[in-house]
Amino acid sequence: MYVLGYTGYTRDSRVAAGVRSPFAKADQNFDTIFEFREGEVPFSMFPLGYFGHDASAALLKDGVVVACAAEERFTRVKYSLNLAGNTLLPKQAIAYCLRAAGISINDVDVVAHYCDFTPDAIRRRVALLRPCFSADDMGLVDESFHNVYAAMMSSHVVREQFRQMTGSLPSTFLSVRHHLAHAASAFYPAGFPEALILTIDGVGEVESSFLGVGRAGKITELRSSFIPTSLGALYLILTVYLGFKSLGDEYKVMGLASYGDPKRFRNGFGELVTLNGDGTYATPCLAKRDLHDELIRAFGPARIPGGPFEGRHADVAAALQEALHHAVLHTLAYARKETGLVDLCLAGGVALNCTLNGVIARSGLFRNIFVQPAANDEGCSVGAALIAAAQHGELPPPAATRWKHAYWGPEYSPDEILHGLEGFREQLLWEKPADIAAAVAHEVASGKVVGWFQGRMEFGPRALGNRSILADPRDAGMKDKINEKVKRREAFRPFAPAVVEEDAEVYFDMTGLRDSPFMLFTVPVKKHQRAVIPAVTHVDGTARVQTVSRETNPGFWRLIMEFKNLTGVSVVLNTSYNVRDEPIVCSPGDALRCLLSTNIDCAAVGEFLVRKRHAR
Ligand SMILES: [Fe+2]
């Protein structure tokens, strides 16, 4: 049986001139996110808007993943947004999944979508927000919710849009509750027979968090958090307060937090995030009508996007990060005691917070932790599909659903790569070394910044050694060099290390972790190694480590081992293969265009080592 899961909504069918979603980036700042826009509600009350982002598709055959991919990789526009900031459906990602399985849409038995908006869900949403609005505003919000529901989110509209997108509508179409899709995306791929499951994001239909138990192939809910409580929403609002963009810039806050001291604003955050005796938390500030002014009163003026950083900004980020740690650990400690479960699964956008994940690992609360590599809504396509497969009794035992890797995207044959190269014959030269891994290790060891494009593309926002840019971690100046050559990131943001898993303990304090294959845990770099790998050691002595397994990525593993032979160090700097504000490269053409438009020194595309004819 084939099950297709997908994420995303589109408002294309109703888009009107001048109407923009909260994702419209151009004028987004701390003042404008609170403005009321037609068809929407103020940001603080509904921070992720109505409109799905991170459109993606996933295909299962008999309960086993065949392919998963994010639409942004094909459209080349980040987070699957179109130019007006509105979201798109995953048309190309679905086409890829079908191609990978060698089937057509008519062969799909079940389609599963990642949200379940019903009239009742909308009524509950309105009821939850009622105390937060004046009677006049509430009228607007109520009307707005119902209008958008009817135009975009009702199952009738969702199904019709699917039919228009694919030209077909399978007889079984399942709308899966959002947090259940997140929960499934973590539980089934974890491969644990039983586990505690926590999902945290901005908001689904009405929940911002879900706590449950996975056991015997089923997920049972313990309790959920409902808006206006939302750690994801609070984090997002403060991301914008700090002068970054919502949706995607949360990493920058995490990086900035390492420079700050949480003490200065600890009391302020104590009021923003409160902990309850029953293991729950609340964010009462999000229910306040004057949240904008209150945050400015508490922390000073918002940082203007692109403006200078003050110590105060880092201190706000540090206190926010600390408040997040306290709230999540509070929930987990309670649930661990309540259930006795020793294995943990995490998903939801907040589970991409590697610093938080590292703190959970080091807390000693759990024996094993699995974080879905596509913990954001991208992963809900596979989560929704897994729920559908479980309902149809299609899921194999946990050991067979376990993800050892996240390489579920497209791959390209040597012929396809050669064809891509031929298109750039005027600008590029290539050779076929006897051993591409050894050749690249040699380039990296001699200080080059090298594109590494191999095998199937990663699912989730991290490049894990198949669509990566690699460099020498021993050179303290490498961060600036990569930023100058290709990335152009803020100087405070760290780059990540990839280490062969056998040597992880040599460089990193892996307390509470067996491995970190998806680059989702921040861990301390051992003190005596910080000077050895300065380019991947953050200001606070930590690193967002990826452990590389010989079994799941033999080519990348061997590259690092060759680098070790040359240098004695079994770590390389691994950053995603893309330029700033573009999605990670998907096809050989994308990789070659990126090579040509930046100062990357060379790229290994499949078995070919590619250089520019004329250095820029
Ligand atoms: Fe979500």
For 209-240, write each residue's pLDDT tens digit.
999 999 999 999 999 999 889 999 899 889 99
Q: Are 57 and 93 in contact (CB under 8 A)?
A: yes
pLDDT bracket for residue 67 (50, 70, 90): very high
pLDDT bracket for residue 27 (50, 70, 90): low
Q: Are 342 and 371 in contact (CB under 8 A)?
A: no
pLDDT number for residue 25: 45
| Dist. CA 612 → ligand 1 center (Å) | 41
| Dist. CA 550 → ligand 1 center (Å) | 32
Q: Is the peptide bond before 119 cis (omega within 30 degrees of 0)?
A: no
Range with lowest mean pLDDT among 228-237, 562-571, 585-594: 228-237
Beta partners for residue 369, in sequence order: 344
Cα-to-chain-centroid distance, residue 450: 24
Q: Which amino acid is at 195?
A: A
* 267-321 pLDDT per residue, tens: 999 999 999 999 999 999 888 878 889 999 999 999 998 899 999 999 999 999 9
Mean per-residue pLDDT for 351-357?
97
* 196-208 pLDDT per residue, tens: 999 999 889 999 9
pLDDT bracket for residue 147 (50, 70, 90): confident
Q: Is the pLDDT of residue 395 over 60?
A: yes
Whole-Å CA distances, 293 to 171, 236, 262, 489? 51, 16, 21, 30
Neighbours of ion ligand 1 (CB under 5 A): 201, 377
Cα separation, 47 vs 228, in Å, equals 10
Active-site residue list: 53
Q: Which amino acid is at 436?
A: I
Cα separation, 419 vs 351, in Å, equals 39
Backbone Cα Rg of the chain: 23
Query: Residue 475, class by beta-carbon neighbours within 10 Å (0-12 exposed, 13-18 middle, 19+ buried)?
Result: middle
Cα separation, 194 vs 459, in Å, equals 24
pLDDT number for residue 10: 78
| Dist. CA 1 → ligand 1 center (Å) | 27
The pair of structure tokens assigned to 385 is: 């599909």
* 107-135 pLDDT per residue, tens: 999 999 999 999 998 889 888 888 777 78
| Dist. CA 459 → ligand 1 center (Å) | 16
pLDDT number for residue 51: 57
Range with lowest mean pLDDT among 83-97, 445-459, 574-588, 595-609: 83-97
Query: Residue 500, class by beta-carbon neighbours within 10 Å (0-12 exposed, 13-18 middle, 19+ buried)?
Result: buried
Question: Structure pTM?
Answer: 0.95
| Dist. CA 363 → ligand 1 center (Å) | 25
Mean per-residue pLDDT for 56-80?
92
Q: Which amino acid is at 529?
A: Q
| Dist. CA 479 → ligand 1 center (Å) | 32
pLDDT number for residue 291: 85
pLDDT number for residue 225: 96
Q: Looking up tokens 């807390």, which residue turns up?
A: 363
Mean per-residue pLDDT for 43-60?
69
pLDDT bracket for residue 509 (50, 70, 90): very high
Q: Is the pLDDT of residue 465 over 80?
A: yes
Q: Which residue stretches of 167-290 are H helix? A: 178-190, 231-241, 250-257, 266-272
Cα separation, 108 vs 170, in Å, equals 7
Cα separation, 586 vs 93, in Å, equals 11
Q: Are 47 and 246 in contact (CB under 8 A)?
A: yes
pLDDT number for residue 616: 59
pLDDT number for residue 81: 67
Cα separation, 216 vs 198, in Å, equals 17
Beta partners for residue 7, in sequence order: 56
| Dist. CA 179 → ligand 1 center (Å) | 7
Angle CA(351)–CA(355)–CA(357) in degrees, nearest 5?
A: 45
Q: Is the pLDDT of residue 350 over 70?
A: yes
Q: Looking up tokens 């007006």, which residue turns up?
A: 84
* 306-316 pLDDT per residue, tens: 899 999 999 99
Q: Are 298 and 247 in contact (CB under 8 A)?
A: no
pLDDT number for residue 341: 98
| Dist. CA 400 → ligand 1 center (Å) | 26
In terms of Cα–Cα distance, which of 418, 414, 451, 405 is closest to 573? 451
Q: Is the pLDDT of residue 85 over 70?
A: no
Give the sign of the dihedral formed by CA 258, CA 264, CA 266, CA 269.
negative
DSSP letter at 138 equals H
Cα separation, 519 vs 515, in Å, equals 9
Mean pLDDT score across all residues of the chain: 91
Cα separation, 556 vs 285, in Å, equals 46
| Dist. CA 180 → ligand 1 center (Å) | 10
| Dist. CA 201 → ligand 1 center (Å) | 5
